[in-house]
Amino acid sequence: MMTGDLSIGDHQVAVRPSPDQELLSVKGPSGTTQPAGLRDQNRDVFCVFVHRVPPAVPRYKSEYNAIARQTAPVPTRGEGDAEEDACLAPRPERIHEGEQFLPLPLETGQILRERYIVRQIIGRGGMGSIYLAEDNRLPGRQCALKEVEQDPGLPETLRSQGRDQFYREASILARLDHPNLPKVSDFFSEGERDYIVMDFVAGEDLKKLMDDARRRGEFLPTAEVLAWGAQLGDALTYLHSQEPPVIHRDIKPGNLKLTPNGLVKLVDFGLVKTMVPDEMTITVIQGRGTALYTPLEQYGGDAGHTDPRSDVYAFGATLYHLLTNRPPAEAKQRFLQPGSLSPPRQINPDITEGIDAAILWAMALHPNDRPQDVPAFLEALETGSAATGGMSSPLSPRRLFPTLADRVLAGGVAGLVLIALLATLR
């Protein structure tokens, strides 16, 4: 019997396979087993029972009876009972997908706040799902419902701080207005889950466009990628210029959507951070972003070390991936194995030396060695795309010949980063 498909409190979950479906059963602390539901192997959904196997599924009766005999007597109903009343175990809070236990998604048709009707899941992550929903107060309006669930294993004080932080940052997002950002129109909480409501952005994400090009044996046109990058840079410059500055912290091709009219939209604000002076952001609640695009300083126990230069790193890593069809080496790997990041020009010869240098500059491991803001990176890209023999170097004399103070500072930060890395690698 296989285990690990669902997590229900302190229970383990076992799976009993059938020809085209799986019978999910719950194994409690006492060793007893109870049926929990059916999952269709051809879909990402399953039926969870609250009392017993529905009479409408007779072929599972023998498996149900075999399991039920191992348990204490369970109240049963007649064969004519309504199917929706014929359920057996508590509805699980999280489900297992790949190597993650993810929050159980909302059901299609479920209504939140007596307003938002869930239509389908359009994204999944360790902190929750993103749903396409309809706003029943504005007929015809579709919106994206971003779900954030705090880690139930955290102490109550940290979860309370996390919710306070959510409301504080969501209120700032609701004030943003930029053509390359979806408009946030509402935010609220239900139970342990927080929700942000924003415009639904139609179109394909840039990761899909890149994957399609790779399957054709092609690279995305460099000029087109740089044009998308200019739009992204404009959005980031706007975010970083807010008071307090807004740091996205999860920039990647999958979070950039290209609309039918050619606009690039930076979506998914699940890991956003506002830079309030002397405030420690609880990274353990918010997550750390996607490893391929995450700078070293974002791996600390708090987000106090992240600033606009963290987004510059992710911006450079995103362009690297889009231009080469190959994800960059993770920052942790590069720290432990210097030289593991191949220059993008070695992979795609259409990239100029100047663009190659600009991207590698943005992806420097130490924040002080990167462009200090997005406009500086955009300027380097523009210079690099116009140059034929390479960029008129963005490397300042100070970066080429660091002072003693620089070396001492770099050594101290490297030590802190190494401690953080060892903690994350345990």
Point out the residues that are catalytic. 250
Q: Is the dihedral of CA 354, 357, 363, 364 positive or negative?
A: negative
Here the tokens at position 397 are: 């004399």
Cα 271 to its chain centre, rounded Å, is: 8
Residue with tokens 């359009």: 122
Angle between helices 374-386 and 308-324 (to 10 degrees): 30
Nearest-angstrom CA–CA distance, 343 and 325? 13
Nearest-angstrom CA–CA distance, 60 and 136? 39
DSSP 8-state code for residue 202 = -
Amino acid at 150: Q
DSSP 8-state code for residue 266 = E
Question: Residue 245: is it exposed, middle or buried by C-beta count within 10 angstroms (0-12/13-18/19+)?
Answer: middle
Kindly calculate the radius of gyration of the chain based on its CA atoms and give it in whole angstroms: 25
Here the tokens at position 361 are: 């500059």
> Measuring CA to CA, how many Å separate 359 from each of 92, 297, 314, 339?
45, 18, 10, 15
Nearest-angstrom CA–CA distance, 307 and 102? 29
Q: Which residue, among 273, 270, 264, has the nearest Cα to 310 in the 3D structure?
A: 273
